Amino acid sequence: MGDMTQGYAIEHLKAALKCSPENTAIILDCTALIVNYLVRYRCSHSKMENDSAWLLPILLLWQSQSTAGVEDLDIPLHLAFSKNCFGSILQLVQLYNEQPELEPEAQQILAVLKDLLRAHVLRPARSSILNSLRPRDIQSTDIPRGLLELLLAPLIDILSQETAGQEPLKAAALLFEIAAEDCKHKTPKGKRDDTAWLQRLFEHIMQSAQAFEYRDLNHVQQIPLVEFSVIMLEKAVQWKTQLKAATLEKLLQPLFRDPRIFTEGEWGLVNLCIQLEPAVFVRSPGDIHVNKERALNIRNQLLVSLLDLITQNGYKPMSISKRPRSRPNVELPYKLILSNVVIPLAKAFIQARELPKFLDIWQEQLEKNLHIETNDICSVWKDDELLQTVASLLEPTSAISETEKRLRLVSIGLQSLLTSAEPSQIDKMNAALLIVEVLLLGYNSDRFLSKLEESVLGISKLLLQLTTDGTERCSEFNIRGWKILTVINDKWSLPHESLEYQDEAVCSAMRTIKNACVIERHPQDFRKAFHAFRFMLSLAEVQMAEMNAREADNPDGYVADLIETVISQIIDANSDVEVVDRDEIWALKWGGDDFIDSRATLCLACCAQLATVPHAL
């Protein structure tokens, strides 16, 4: 049969349809020639439809003849199929799978091709793997060890083809998908077997790709392992396949050795690993085998490497006007890291009930980043989206004891700042205050708010003192202080006995805003003025609510009057904005303070905030 031409093979099999051939080898060999022919010439969609009229009955005949009378495993037949047809049929399946629409006959051809792969490759390989996992005394002697490697040997040849695009990669990943489609067991044992089989198949496919890359380092077209890993992991996520942490660690370790190669694909790969098995980063290696106290002291090296990568890449310019025109996509790595890594990592820690550990990591990274960042750039660890995401997940965890502990520590730190304001101490408090802000944002129910009231109001008094004592502190500290005071005032309201502090804070806020409008300042000073304005607006809302509750004749509050004065000063003193259109103010949806870097943007931000609470004036 080896000397047959494709045309002769086709005619021979057409004639064979009229009888019942007994020689399965002839069917196998002839159909292999046909399939090789189709794959070689990459038939168009229309050509596939034209061929389906004669290809379908041939495949059905082959399927019936190759499986007729076979009980359990026919190892020689399966190995012959793998050697002669596996690679070509898998690529033909890929060709059909890539078509946007298939006619009914073509769909049936695709189904038959998949069934042939399952019958002659995947199910025998599965039986071999599951047999090897049984105790030796009950293992079947009829199933040879290493059958998976023998049946899937053509994978390396598929991956080594010098074809354009990702067709070989997709074909190899499609094999995993076909196997996953076949895993439909409902019983606990069946599910365990499915998981063990898919884990081993995933590992073998990845090993085949790695073996080719290391076998032929001078090959013209190297296998893009990162792209292939992403394709495979996407399949695993799609089919909800559980993968071992050790398997994922093997994929990640080579990437972390050279942080310069990290691109969109690498960050996407990290994201998929977090989705599939958060324990790769969340828990220290060996946690299961050691006691809890010792486990906490074990450093997860992958997590440490990942945090270092985030520190090196997770920054964006704060001032829009200072962004280089030659780098319009300067925020792209920042957004990728935030959405693909940092936020999923935070969710994974919280879902694993490891909130304290994540907060420690977060604060540690903030303190480390303080030595790197400048006033012109911002770390991903300070992003408002991260803060809001973590805050939204806190209350269901009932982490009230952790919150109370951190509030006590911050209170002690703030008290020490009243007597000593060393830069290093302020830097550490900046990190601690951000964590406190997240914790305070996370609670909304009365049950939790009442438990935290005493601790929170104590911190508010200290913050009011620190923002009004006349000591010049770093802008970052003052920004965080104003933000926390606003959160406290919104949720708990400042105590009546601290009215004198309120007066001083309002005066300090007005002075901060006035200085930002009149004197040329750094962008951080404009942001500080904005958050001071938000604090004043929060106080005004509380006063208005109290007056409305008392049904006062004159509903105007003194803070509201001052806000009207302040906003007029901002607009009048702002040389960059001649006219502030009220419709534009209402349309502006403020979502962060990144864009506040001038008097003009400060004006727009304050007016936009004012427009959201028109009853304040």
Max mean pLDDT among 4-13, 269-278, 393-402, 418-427 falls in: 269-278
Instruction: Name the pLDDT band for 12 (thresholds 50, 70, 90).
Output: low
Q: Identify the pLDDT of residue 250.
A: 86
> Over 60: is that where the pLDDT of 21 sits?
no
> Over 50: is that where the pLDDT of 192 sits?
yes
- Among 190-194, 240-244, 332-336, 557-561, which is the least confidently predicted range? 557-561
pLDDT (tens digit per residue) in 249-306: 888 887 787 666 677 788 888 999 999 999 899 875 444 444 444 444 445 888 988 9
- Among 213-222, 394-403, 449-458, which is the least confidently predicted range? 213-222
Q: Considering the entire predicted model, what is its pTM?
A: 0.77
Q: Identify the pLDDT of residue 582.
A: 45
Q: Is 557 left (phi over 0), alpha (psi -120 to 50) or beta?
A: beta
Give the closest residue to 430 by CA, choosing from 498, 388, 379, 376: 379
CA angle at 95 for the pair 204 and 88, rounded to the nearest 5° = 55
Q: Identify the pLDDT of residue 592.
A: 62
Residues facing residue 316 across a β-bridge = 378
What is the average per-residue pLDDT within 352-364? 91
pLDDT (tens digit per residue) in 63-115: 776 555 445 577 887 888 888 788 888 888 888 888 878 788 888 888 888 98
Q: Identify the pLDDT of residue 540.
A: 78
What is the average per-residue pLDDT within 451-474? 77
Return d(Cα 571, Cα 575) in angstroms, integer.
8
Max mean pLDDT among 31-35, 46-50, 142-146 falls in: 142-146
Strands (E), 341-427: 377-379
Q: Identify the pLDDT of residue 144.
A: 80
Q: Which residue has the higher pLDDT, 22 or 210?
A: 210
Give the closest residue to 37 by CA, choosing from 83, 4, 80: 4
Give the closest residue to 394 by CA, choosing from 456, 443, 329: 443
Q: Identify the pLDDT of residue 178.
A: 94
Q: Identify the pLDDT of residue 210.
A: 77
Return d(Cα 97, Cα 532) in angstroms, integer.
59
Q: Which residue has the higher pLDDT, 257 or 443?
A: 443
* 3-class state of residue 596 by DSSP: coil
What is the average per-residue pLDDT within 23-36? 60
**With 0-12 CB in 10 A as exposed, 13-18 as middle and 19+ as buried, what is 453?**
middle
Q: Identify the pLDDT of residue 172.
A: 87
- Among 200-209, 292-301, 418-427, which is the least confidently predicted range? 292-301
Please, how many CA atoms are within 13 Å of residue 555, restricted to the half-sphere of its CB?
10
> Over 80: is that where the pLDDT of 413 sits?
yes
Give the closest residue to 89 by CA, choosing from 160, 25, 154: 154
Instruction: Name the pLDDT band for 220 (thresholds 50, 70, 90).
Output: very low
Q: Identify the pLDDT of residue 554.
A: 53
Residue 97's CB is within 10 A of a number of other CB atoms, namely 16
Return d(Cα 461, Cα 472) in angstroms, integer.
18
pLDDT (tens digit per residue) in 491-516: 887 655 556 666 777 787 888 887 77
Share of the chain above pLDDT 70, in %: 67
C-alpha distances in Å from residue 592, one per residue of 385, 387, 473, 530: 9, 11, 23, 11
Residues facing residue 379 across a β-bridge = 315
Q: Which residue has the higher pLDDT, 394 or 181?
A: 181
> Over 80: is that where the pLDDT of 471 sits?
no
Average pLDDT, the chain: 75
